[in-house]
Amino acid sequence: MQDVYHREINYLRVSVTDRCNLRCVYCMPAGGVKLISHDDILRNGEIARLVEAAALAGIKKVRLTGGEPLVRKGLADLVAAVRAVPAIDDIALTTNGILLPAMAGELKEAGLRRVNISLDTLDPRLFRQITRNGELSQVWKGIETALGLGLNPVKINTVVMRGINDSEITGIAALTLRYPLHVRFIELMPVKASNDWAADRYVPTSEVKALIEGGLGALNEARRPAGNGPAMYYRLSGAPGTIGFISPVSDHFCRRCNRLRLTAEGMIRPCLYGGREVDARAPLRRGAGIAELASLFRQAVMMKPDRHSMDKGWTDKRRNMSQIGG
């Protein structure tokens, strides 16, 4: 599918739940968010049906997100159902890693190919502060499990926050010298939970890159590992892993955007920072055929804006980012 700006749209990020077992300071308020009714959340069969429709429209790759996707019951069954859609050639997962040690084997057997794992610090005490209740040891065990099972590439997502974890940039980057990990440093974005303080804690990619080169040596351009994201990748000399930079604020990547989002409620969202959506749940539940459902994805593609409106902050009054899928 091509949108009106001639971008090829072939990637669908599916939020399978609005629930999460952490409360990261830049993502969710301390008390969490008002949870969506179970009746309003898409069932596994409904998600699989919509993925089938999306594939008919031109989607080739699917990433499962949340909230935290691993808290959803029957996730392996959903992975298997998505894998059964012939046109889908890649199934990935974004997770905080807490539940991954127990679930990774079943998910891989079901058809999961690779994972992105959030890791904002290597300090256990700071990890508990950032996540409000998480244990770093569990995440690291999840990373080791993913590497051991060959869920490659294993990508690490690090949101950089001034005065919180910016002193650890070189330490986290140095993981790529020891492990075949693909560490991506992400600029802090204003989302509903962090609108008020994101600006003061924002660190541009240029500063992150300079810190890494000053501490660890030159960064050489590297081939992009398998995936569909916007990161630009580099490699330290002799490193088995790579270092990527995702710069939605300083160098928005909208011109290369290839994605749609499907919320846990069944709304097709053309842009994370745009409020426009196409309701797929209502037609699905009234028995719409596959061609009609596919047309909804094509409609959403035609609604994609030329760029995001992040400079205005988070303007969606209905949902937090965690309820849409990052």
Tokens of 244: 């990527």
Question: Which of 88, 5, 2 lies closest to 298, judged by CA?
Answer: 2
Rounded CA-CA distance 11/36 in Å is 25
Rounded CA-CA distance 295/10 in Å is 15
pLDDT in tens, 88-109: 999 999 999 999 999 999 999 9
Rounded CA-CA distance 48/223 in Å is 32
Q: Which domains, ranges and CATH numbers included, belong to the chain?
A: 11-323 (3.20.20.70)
pLDDT in tens, 256-309: 889 999 999 999 999 887 778 999 999 999 999 999 999 999 999 999 998 766
Tokens of 300: 């959403």
Report the b/e string of 224-233 with b at 16+ CB within 10 A: ebebbbbbbb
Model confidence, pTM: 0.92
Question: Which of 83, 39, 43, 51 lies closest to 268, judged by CA?
Answer: 51
Rounded CA-CA distance 111/134 in Å is 28
Average pLDDT, the chain: 91
**pLDDT of the residue at 321:** 59
HSE toward the beta carbon, residue 177, CA cutoff 13 A = 13
Question: 185 — phi, psi (to 5°)?
Answer: -90, 125
pLDDT at 311 over 80: no
**pLDDT of the residue at 192:** 54
- Counting Cβ atoms within 10 Å, is residue 132 exposed (0-12), middle (13-18) or buried (19+)? middle
